[in-house]
């Protein structure tokens, strides 16, 4: 464990691309102190992972920096064991809400404590800060994190109140094994239309509101292809030809499950809805391409690589960069004017965002807001458009625990207009759907953001 922590310390301090020299020194000092707590201790991999979860280091990484347990560790840990919390949940107003129709607790019930631990305490222990991004991620991993944090109980004593009721009830639940868990989670209620989420792009037409909806779940293509920009351009062109023929009064863009991707695609997409020319500027800054512990790198981006391939990949990636003092820089786009695309849409536009959005999705939202293209509906966005730590993702696997460490190699910066005009760290919607309203829509199994968009459209009409 001590060896793996030392490797992790050096990886994070040397690769994290947004640290200045003083911040790096402070991070080294903190992690060295934290390392001393491992002296003379023996831990399981799960206990060590919990130790890492409790480490509060200022890495200046955003949502691209992650630490996770490998599949092999999880399989060994969970194999043939019934240990998992058995109720799928959704989080509304910092409350755990039952998200299943046939669970032993009624759908929409509010869980107040588990095994005597209040939900508020559980959330405080799980989350360093209750951002929308952290809360949305917790919804899908709550049972795993509960197990890591609190151990494997023989049963789960759950206190809850049924929907719109003040009556508290208690039930004793048997834990789930991993296979049963998969079946249960395949039948959760939210998110709605899960099959649609498997598509990169989906479209729909709502006749009652004369609205065309584009759901864009990623700015990455399905496969590792070189002509991603051309593929997206063709897809967008076909969609907007259809829109041109259909002549809807309103366009709804659903970005809520988009976690980013190719950084050139957001402005391409925006060029199909812009009403005027706009400026684009994208720079990537990388502190160093000479990465530590290359023998522990298993993937860069989506590509699995051995050590020799790692060197070759980094050398090729570095070629277009220019050395600038103590970092390397590449201009993806250098203050270029983007014109509206043929068949661009000029009508009313509504953009739905949420806590799962970061990276390129945050960038698109910033462009949309900067040019005041339409109303933004939902919740605070998950990630910032300021200094996105991204570029290529470097995935390390620690040698002893097999814990995965994924870090971005660079920092993206955009035009000064976006920095100045959209100054908030994380973009808030124009229409924030209140938690009370969300809950009532949830009980009716309706899409709260979409219903609020329809209300806005009806008011305008």
Structure tokens at 195: 């099959």
> In this predicted structure, what is the pLDDT of residue 160?
98
Q: DSSP 3-state helix, strand, coil percentages of the chain (rounded to 5)?
A: 35, 25, 40
Which neighbouring-strand residues pair with 278?
338
Any bridge partners for residue 202, and if so which? Answer: 215
The reported pLDDT for the residue numbered 461 is 75
pLDDT at residue 460 in the model: 85
Alpha helices by DSSP H, 200-355: 228-246, 265-270, 307-318
What stretch of H or E contains 460?
A: helix 448-460
DSSP state of 314: H
CA atoms 89, 95, 101, 104: torsion sign: positive
* Contact between 268 and 236 (Cβ < 8 Å): yes
Q: What pLDDT score does 223 carry?
A: 65
The H or E element containing residue 452 is helix 448-460
- Name residues whose C-beta falls within 8 Å of residue 444's C-beta, 6 or more positions apart in sequence: none
Residue 292's alpha-carbon distances to 10, 12, 26, 355, in angstroms, are 7, 10, 19, 33
For residue 12, which of 70, 63, 59, 69 has the smallest C-alpha distance?
59
**CA–CA gap between residue 347 and residue 43 (Å, rounded):** 60
Q: Which residues contact 132 (CB under 8 A, 6 or more apart)?
A: 354, 355, 379, 380, 381, 382
Q: Say if residues 213 and 256 touch (Cβ distance below 8 Å).
A: no
CA atoms within 13 A on the CB side of 385: 30
Compute CA distances 456 → 205, 243, 356, 438, 451, whole Å: 17, 21, 23, 16, 9
Helix (H) or strand (E) holding 138, with range, is helix 132-150
What is the per-residue pLDDT for 181?
94
- pLDDT at residue 224, as a whole number: 66
pLDDT of residue 72: 81
Residue 139 has what pLDDT? 97
pLDDT the model gives residue 79: 81
Q: What backbone phi and psi angles, to 5 degrees, belong to 389?
A: -85, 105
Measured distance CA(341)–CA(268) in Å, rounded: 9
Question: Mind listing the domains of the chain with CATH numbers?
Answer: 2-60 (no CATH), 89-185 (2.30.42), 194-460 (3.90.226.10)
Helical axes 119-126 vs 132-150, angle rounded to 10°: 100
Q: Which residue has the tokens 């058995």?
A: 86
Q: What is the pLDDT tens value at each position of the chain, 461 positions in all?
A: 999 999 999 999 999 999 999 999 999 999 999 999 999 999 999 999 999 999 999 999 999 999 999 888 887 888 888 999 999 999 999 999 999 999 999 999 999 999 999 999 999 999 988 999 999 999 999 999 999 999 999 999 999 999 988 889 999 999 999 999 999 999 999 999 888 888 999 999 999 999 999 999 999 987 667 799 999 999 999 999 999 999 999 999 999 999 999 999 999 999 999 999 999 999 999 999 999 999 999 999 888 998 889 999 999 999 999 998 889 999 999 999 999 999 999 999 999 999 999 999 999 999 999 999 999 999 999 999 999 998 899 999 999 999 999 999 999 999 999 999 999 999 999 999 999 999 999 999 999 999 999 999 999 87
For tokens 């494997």, what's the residue? 152
């Amino acid at each position: 464990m001590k060896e793996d922590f030392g490797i992790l310390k050096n990886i994070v301090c040397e690769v994290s691309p947004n640290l200045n020299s003083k911040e790096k020194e402070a991070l080294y000092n903190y992690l060295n102190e934290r390392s001393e707590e491992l002296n003379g201790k023996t831990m399981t991999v799960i206990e060590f992972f919990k130790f890492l979860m409790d480490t509060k280091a200022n890495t200046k990484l955003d949502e691209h920096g992650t630490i996770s347990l490998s599949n092999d560790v999880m399989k060994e840990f969970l194999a043939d064991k019934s240990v998992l919390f058995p109720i799928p949940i959704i989080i509304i107003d910092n409350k755990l809400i039952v998200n299943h129709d046939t669970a032993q607790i009624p759908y929409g019930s509010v869980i107040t404590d588990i095994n005597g631990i209040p939900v508020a305490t559980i959330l405080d222990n799980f989350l360093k800060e209750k951002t929308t991004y952290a809360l949305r991620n917790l919804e899908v991993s709550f049972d795993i994190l509960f197990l890591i944090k609190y151990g494997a109980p023989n049963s789960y004593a759950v206190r809850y109140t049924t929907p719109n009721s003040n009556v508290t009830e208690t039930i004793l639940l048997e834990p789930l094994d991993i296979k049963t868990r998969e079946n249960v989670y395949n039948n959760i209620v939210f998110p709605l239309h899960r099959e649609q989420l498997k598509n990169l792009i989906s479209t729909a037409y709502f006749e009652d509101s004369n609205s065309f909806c584009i759901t864009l779940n990623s700015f990455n293509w399905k496969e590792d292809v070189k002509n991603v920009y051309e593929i997206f351009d063709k897809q967008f062109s076909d969609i907007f030809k259809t829109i041109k023929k259909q002549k809807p009064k309103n366009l709804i863009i659903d970005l809520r499950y988009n976690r980013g991707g190719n950084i050139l695609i957001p402005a391409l997409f925006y060029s199909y809805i812009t009403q005027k020319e706009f400026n684009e500027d994208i720079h990537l800054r990388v502190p160093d391409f000479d990465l530590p512990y290359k023998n522990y790198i298993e993937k860069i981006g989506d590509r699995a690589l051995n050590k020799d391939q790692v060197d070759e990949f980094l050398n090729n990636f570095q070629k277009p960069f220019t050395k600038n003092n103590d970092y390397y820089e590449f201009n993806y786009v250098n203050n270029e004017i983007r014109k509206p695309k043929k068949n661009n849409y000029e009508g009313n536009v509504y953009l739905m965002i949420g806590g799962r959005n970061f990276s390129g999705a945050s960038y698109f939202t910033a462009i949309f807001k900067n040019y005041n293209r339409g109303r933004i509906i939902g919740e605070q966005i998950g990630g910032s458009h300021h200094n996105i730590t991204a570029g290529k993702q470097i995935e390390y696997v620690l040698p002893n625990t097999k814990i995965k460490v994924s870090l971005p190699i660079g920092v993206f910066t955009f035009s000064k207009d976006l920095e100045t005009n959209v100054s908030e760290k994380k973009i808030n919607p124009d229409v924030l759907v209140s938690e009370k309203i969300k809950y009532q829509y949830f009980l009716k199994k309706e899409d709260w953001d979409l219903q609020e968009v329809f209300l806005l459209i009806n008011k305008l009409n």
